[in-house]
Amino acid sequence: MIRFNGNRDMTGNFDFVVVGGGLAGAMAVETLRTEGAEGSIFLLATEPHRPYAPSI
């Protein structure tokens, strides 16, 4: 599940940082969780909308 925080404070510590909120960024976050990664994930993106995976 991808959750949008909207918090622009980037001073925290994160276990994973994914740059880019397009399809590749969303898939990277999903793959981290699917493969068993635990911890915090920070998705850095400039897109004005939440990342999504379009259905094919």
pLDDT value of position 1: 45
What pLDDT was estimated at residue 7? 61
pLDDT in tens, the chain (56 residues): 445 556 666 667 889 999 988 888 888 999 999 999 999 998 888 877 776 666 65
DSSP string, 8-51: ----S--SEEEE--SHHHHHHHHHHHHTT--S-EEEE---SS--
| 51 contacts 18 by C-beta, under 8 angstroms | no
Query: Would you kindly state where each structural domain of the chain is located, as residue ranges?
Result: 14-48
For position 43, what pLDDT does the model report? 86
| Distant-in-sequence contacts of 7-11, Cβ < 8 A, 24+ apart | 10/42, 10/44
